Amino acid sequence: MKRIVAHNKKIEIIEDELPKLAGKPSYVLIKTLYSVISPGTELTILSNSENKQVHLGYSAMGEVVECGSDITDVKKGDLVACYGAPYVHHDEYLLVPKTLYAKVPDSVDPKEAALGGLGAIAIHALRIAKLQFGETAVIVGLGVLGQLIAKIANAAAYNVIAYDLHESRVEMLKGENIKAFSSVEEMEEAIRVETKSRGADAVLLCTGGKRSPLTHECLKWIRTKGKAVIVGDIEPDFPRSLMFGKEAELLISRAGGPGRYDSVYEREAIDYPYEYVRWTEGRNVEEYIRLIKEKRIDVRAFISEVVELEDAPKEFEKLLDKESTTLTQLIHYK
């Protein structure tokens, strides 16, 4: 099978062996139909690939071609969305544990389902923020993840205020009853007006760039006892005086939810008890699929650019250009 890897800071397509289901009763073998390029994460991987070969990708969907003996919720021919490296990559075939996929209904566009991993990350970020109905959430950074968070927060009836430097990204949220701005001053005025000068309940930082002045600025935007949630690749550099002055809560959102990086949950495919861990990364993928099925959110703007597998390397180079404003692309597998 073919797979896309980063090698010496370049994108390559290599041939590899087909994954084998033997000895894995709780796994399914999937023929990939679409996988999603995540520019932020994959740019970092690409830049760290000198003198080594690194696999890319973590969100995809495809058709089940074979099931392990313990699989009861899907069968051969079903479509599933799946999430999480090292089980999900830009590969023609994927071997995925039952805790990391969700069945895709016939009414859901397969391309939209491919965003399931990103959807799970966005949903988990909002869960970490612990917002209640009607509270004000400020989303900073409107890449594909920030866009998804803003849309899901709006669907949950939070009062959403969004900000990004790129006017084109701000425009993508116009018309959805989301207050979005490309000017910090305008965003700050919206926070003042919407909260009667009390401050937002939470700010979710979805930007990259490691050290960012936004970690200082965002504390000015939240209310006393408000929350700052790190979602993007930012160092948690927060001044003590502002943290102390507002008794602010600093939270870090890790990937798609409980279970991520736990070998028992992922590799051994042993789920957490539903009554004790209501929302795992797998159940967050399911929730994203529900939102799409019920048309609670519209992600069609994210799936307008589709590239064939053999053309992916050159498209990666364009997409990973730091000057690019493209949010993401889908890779299609024949």
In this structure, what CATH number is given to the domain that contains residue 79? 3.90.180.10
Does 320 have pLDDT greater than 70? no
Query: Does one domain contain both 75 and 131?
Result: no
Whole-number average pLDDT of the chain? 93
Does 238 have pLDDT greater than 90? no
Query: Does one domain contain both 240 and 163?
Result: yes
Q: What percentage of the chain has pLDDT greater than the value 90?
A: 77
Predicted confidence at residue 29, as pLDDT, reads: 98
237, 252, 267: which is the final residue of a domain? 252
Predicted confidence at residue 212, as pLDDT, reads: 66
Which has more confidence, 243 or 26?
A: 26
Does 129 have pLDDT greater than 60? yes
Query: Does one domain contain both 246 and 321?
Result: no
The answer to the question of residue 20 being in a domain is yes
User: Per this entry, what is the length of the chain?
Assistant: 334
Query: Does one domain contain both 90 and 138?
Result: no
Query: Does one domain contain both 231 and 180?
Result: yes
Query: Does one domain contain both 242 and 270?
Result: no
The answer to the question of residue 121 being in a domain is no
Strand 79-83 relative to strand 59-67, pairing: antiparallel
Query: Does one domain contain both 182 and 238?
Result: yes
Query: Does one domain contain both 262 and 248?
Result: no
Predicted confidence at residue 210, as pLDDT, reads: 63
Report residue 176 as tokens: 């959805």
The answer to the question of residue 13 being in a domain is yes
244-261 per-position pLDDT tens digit = 889 999 999 999 999 999
Predicted confidence at residue 40, as pLDDT, reads: 77
Worst-scoring range by mean pLDDT, 19-28, 113-122, 126-135, 237-246? 237-246
Query: Does one domain contain both 131 and 200?
Result: yes
The answer to the question of residue 25 being in a domain is yes
The answer to the question of residue 122 being in a domain is no
The answer to the question of residue 279 being in a domain is yes
Query: What type of residue is 53?
Result: Q
142-176 per-position pLDDT tens digit = 999 999 999 999 999 999 999 999 999 999 998 78
Q: Which domain holds residue 217?
A: 127-252
Query: Does one domain contain both 219 and 193?
Result: yes
The answer to the question of residue 60 being in a domain is yes
From CA 260, how far away is CA 283, in angstroms rounded? 12
The answer to the question of residue 119 being in a domain is no
Predicted confidence at residue 308, as pLDDT, reads: 95
Query: Does one domain contain both 202 and 313?
Result: no
**97 DSSP β-pair partners:** 27
> How many separate domains does the chain show?
2
Does 208 have pLDDT greater than 60? yes
| Surface-to-core class of residue 129, CB atoms within 10 Å of its CB (0-12 exposed, 13-18 middle, 19+ buried) | buried
235, 252, 269: which is the final residue of a domain? 252
206, 233, 252: which is the final residue of a domain? 252
Query: Does one domain contain both 244 and 274?
Result: no
Predicted confidence at residue 96, as pLDDT, reads: 98
From CA 264, how far away is CA 192, in angstroms rounded? 46
> Sorting pLDDT into bands at 50, 70 and 90, what band is 324?
low
41-64 per-position pLDDT tens digit = 887 888 888 888 999 999 999 999
Q: Which residues of 277-311 are buried (b: 16+ CB within 10 A; e: fewer)?
A: eebbbbbbbbbbbebbeeeebebeebbeeebebee
74-106 per-position pLDDT tens digit = 999 999 999 999 999 999 999 999 999 999 999
CATH number at residue 194: 3.40.50.720
